[in-house]
């Protein structure tokens, strides 16, 4: 019996209530300067929140 393919197009929306339970962000291991470590963590947190709805 021939079965027809079925496709789904799911749109995802970020659930901002999940921010508190996201995994801890760690700076790159090669950074030594506290300012660069802080900037790296802030960027990674921002990226993490931006990717919430992407399902990566």
pLDDT in tens, 33-54: 999 999 999 999 999 888 887 6
> Taking all residues of the chain, what is their mean pLDDT, rounded to a whole number?
86
The pLDDT confidence band at residue 1, using thresholds 50, 70 and 90, is low
pLDDT value of residue 54: 65
User: Within its chain, how far is the Cα of 42 from the centroid?
Assistant: 13
pTM, to two decimals = 0.66
Question: Which of 40, 7, 47 has its CA nearest to residue 19?
Answer: 47
Task: Provide the pLDDT for residue 33.
Answer: 97
In the block, tokens 């079925």 appear at 6
Distance CA 37, CA 29 (A): 9
């Amino acid at each position: 019996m021939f079965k027809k393919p079925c496709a789904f197009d799911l749109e995802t929306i970020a659930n901002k209530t999940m921010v508190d339970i996201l995994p801890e962000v760690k700076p790159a291991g090669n950074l030594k300067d506290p300012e660069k470590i802080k900037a790296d963590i802030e960027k990674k947190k921002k990226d993490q929140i931006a990717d919430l709805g992407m399902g990566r």
